[in-house]
A and B are shown apart, each in its own frame.
Chain A
Amino acid sequence: MTFRAKHLLGIEQLSPQDIRSILDLADQYADLNRRGEKRGDVLSGMTQINMFFENSTRTQSSFELAGKRLGADVMNMSMQTSSTKKGETLVDTALTLNAMRPDLLVVRHGSAGAVSLLADKVNCAVLNAGDGKHEHPTQALLDALAIRRAKGRLHRLNIAICGDIAHSRVARSNIILLGKMENRIRLVGPPTLVPSQMSEFGCEIYDNMAEGLKDVDVVMMLRLQKERMDGGFIPSEREFYHRYGLDHEKLSHAKDDAIVMHPGPMNRGVEIDGDVADDINRSVIQEQVEMGVAVRMAVMDLLARNLRETRKTQVMA
């Protein structure tokens, strides 16, 4: 195990070896999760607080389940109804929570960098569950695990990430992770939603699905993030669906065994056709959800080990 970090704030901080360590452990948890008796005890006695400043059902329940399966005491705080509405600053909220002595803090926030700001102020391990348009590291890790299990490897693959790249933290984390693991990444979408600077990350940029999907191994669709858009980035959803929505015709340009992914929640008929999403031979969308729990268990397990290690040395010193 090489993953020695105190927090998981982004994929940017991880080395390829860190990523492999996390995925290897997650693989074990994925197998464990398929058994009848799922409960472990590596987080027993530890307190996990989920702080979601933005609404989320899927990610929050995935983190909650992961924590519970590892034996942690899990508390969910819905920050939208809490004191932040009464004018308390993020830092004050962090200090208040810190005084309750949690061990793991899972945070989602609408502003880029907010989670790392919070991590500076607390003594526990902090997991970024999405900060603005910046990063969503566990999503990228679970995508990587799903790819590795489906394709048998996580390098030298041609991967197309399609749709709303501009507003997507999932895209950002995936681009960084898949780049670190030496894959070829294509970004496909209308130019208003694919920032041209992305070519500086070594990505190839396409505004045409047929060309962008040609001979790829993985097609990763993204949700059109209407809530993050301030104004019209596309003329209409139906035109977007016509030009960029993934259907069997567009998918036919990819390799015959290409897999289809989507981080969810899906807008059927906007970025993805229902038939493709439900095609059990191509779609690994349900597998992604399953791997989500496993990856989060692995990350929390590793962070808890590092936390215990730090506390031990603090006691000795």
Chain B
Amino acid sequence: MEHFTFTNAVVVDPEGGTQETGSLTVENGVITAVNAEQPTGNVVDCNGKYLAPGIVDIGVKVSEPGERHKESFQSAGRAAAAGGVTTMVTRPDTLPAIDTPEVLEFVSRRALIDSPVRVLPMAALTKGRDGREMTEIGFLQDAGAVAFTDCDRVVSDTKVYTRALTYARSLNALVISHIQEPILSEGAAVTSGKFAALKGLPAVSPMAERMGLDRDIAMIEMTGAKLHIDQITTARALPALERAKNNGLDITAGVSIHHLTLNELDVADYRTFFKVKPPLRSEDDRLAVIDALRHGLIDIISSMHTPQDEESKRLPFEQAASGAVALETLLPAAMRLVHSDGIDMPTLFRALSLNPSKRLGLETGRIAVGAPADLVLFDASAPFVMNRERLLSKSKNTPFDGARMQGKVLATFVGGTQVYGDH
């Protein structure tokens, strides 16, 4: 195995909350020294660039099985490597849904063969993700499922949900939920407000998120289950989340990079690449969520990578599919939070790498002796104009096409092996 030392790097340590110039030694795929007196093995001079724990991205859609023309493990894995994502935690909203150990094993096998980065699959919470019957949570866990989620579908039958949560608790399984109140949200393409009224688009009140969150908080208070909320995107939901955390419930919350860096006005003239689920929010909401991220109320940032082909997006806004690809744009977009919104680098990587690792019980996400050498080396300020045709994802549905961005991944390492970059 390789043995090398990164020198002259600004090492971002989300656990210690520091970013200091120093060195990092890697042997046999793990970090063996931080700021060793003498570099050992091959020396990699980082020229003062940032070195941080690789991103652990919860909620990546790889369209296998079912829609390989949109994204495969190979294309998603390469995109992830190019984006500094060292672990993809994949979604089960495939065709068919990943709801049996057999399908899960197929996915794991495909991932192992084709993906240069780590893949940890999630499985559906209910069979077919249709909210009627829980999946074989135990078998799925044995087969490697790291969390259970019906993705953007809400289990609206509270009896089914109670049982699934109670059963999941007995296995200490993490459940991930989407909290947008489904009936109020049905058919909505944007968030209600002046913009929605001007554009004449079907809209949902941001309060739909609060309603769903309140319900889920009651559900875990009742069942004692371990819950992660996939995305909290509105100011009105934050006090409820804070209360639940203060009351000692086992709850964490995520947000997508799009809700942190874009707002509803970006949809502009019906640009369907900006149609995501839940819909983009007001600027006030965006700022409130950034603030919650800064204070640790929001735990995790994810890409919510959702590949869609041209045909599903080249439609009137109401009919167009939701979702955006983001594995490769996650880090440069997150740099906007550093450059413009006052988020510091350790705080950012706490949400990108450390917290998702901790929530899933992984060793990654840390700069510590003995931790896996999953690392990303990047230039935080290198400017570029995003060109969607150059994405490695099979689908090119990014809202950042043509955007001026800063922050380039120079190299990505998974378990000490370089999976991207020239170094």
Contact = CB atoms under 8 A, between A and B. Distances in A.
B197 A195 contact: yes
B149 interface: no
A210 interface: no
B200 A169 contact: yes
Nearest to A118: B316
A116 interface: yes
Interface stretch (A28-36, A37-45, A72-80, A126-134): A126-134
Nearest to B310: A91
Given A89-B311, A197-B192, A113 B197 contact: no
B200 A201 contact: no
Interface in A109-145: 109, 111-114, 116-117, 131-135
A197 B196 CA distance: 9
Contacts of A111: 316-319
B201 interface: yes
Q: How large is the interface on B (under 10, 10 to 19, 20 to 34, 35 or more residues)?
A: 20 to 34
Contacts of B187: 230
A89 B199 contact: no
B279 to A, nearest CB: 14
Contact of B199 (A91, A112, A198, A201): A112
Contacts of B317: 111-113
Given A12-B198, A91-B315, A113-B269, 17 more contacts: A111-B316, A111-B317, A111-B318, A112-B200, A112-B201, A112-B270, A112-B318, A113-B199, A114-B316, A132-B316, A133-B202, A172-B197, A197-B192, A197-B193, A197-B194, A197-B197, A201-B198
Contacts of A14: none
Contacts of A133: 200-202
Contacts, number: 64
A91 B319 CA distance: 13
A12 to B, nearest CB: 8
Interface string B80-113: 0000000000000000000000000000000000
15 contacts: A12-B198, A89-B314, A111-B318, A112-B199, A112-B200, A113-B199, A113-B270, A117-B270, A117-B316, A132-B200, A134-B200, A195-B192, A195-B197, A197-B193, A201-B198
A112 B316 contact: yes
A116 B269 contact: yes
Contacts of A135: 200
A90 interface: yes
A225 to B, nearest CB: 12
Interface in A80-125: 89-91, 109, 111-114, 116-117
Nearest to B195: A197
Interface of B: 187, 192-194, 196-202, 269-270, 311, 314-319
A200 interface: yes
A78 B270 CA distance: 25
B265 to A, nearest CB: 13
Q: Which 10 pairs from chain A and chain B are nearest by CB?
A: A113-B270, A134-B200, A111-B316, A133-B200, A114-B316, A112-B200, A200-B194, A197-B197, A111-B318, A113-B317
A109 B316 contact: yes
A2 to B, nearest CB: 22
Contacts of B314: 89, 91, 117
A218 B201 CA distance: 28
B80 to A, nearest CB: 31
Nearest to B194: A200
B270 A201 contact: no
Nearest to B318: A111
A113 B316 contact: yes
B316 A201 contact: no
Contacts of A201: 194, 197-198
A169 B192 CA distance: 16
A192 to B, nearest CB: 13
A230 B194 CA distance: 21
Interface in A1-47: 12
Most chain B beta-carbon neighbours within 10 Å: one of A113, A134, A195: A113
A8 B311 CA distance: 26
Contacts of A131: 200
Contacts of B193: 197
A117 B316 CA distance: 7
A195 B198 CA distance: 11
Nearest to B314: A91
Contacts of B194: 197, 200-201
A200 B197 CA distance: 10
Contacts of B319: 111
Contacts of B198: 12, 172, 201
A63 B219 CA distance: 57
A148 B195 CA distance: 29
A72 B315 CA distance: 30
Interface in A180-210: 195, 197-198, 200-201
A42 B277 CA distance: 48
A90 B315 contact: yes
A198 B196 CA distance: 10
A131 B199 CA distance: 10
A162 to B, nearest CB: 17
Contacts of A134: 199-201
Contacts of B197: 172, 195, 197-198, 200-201
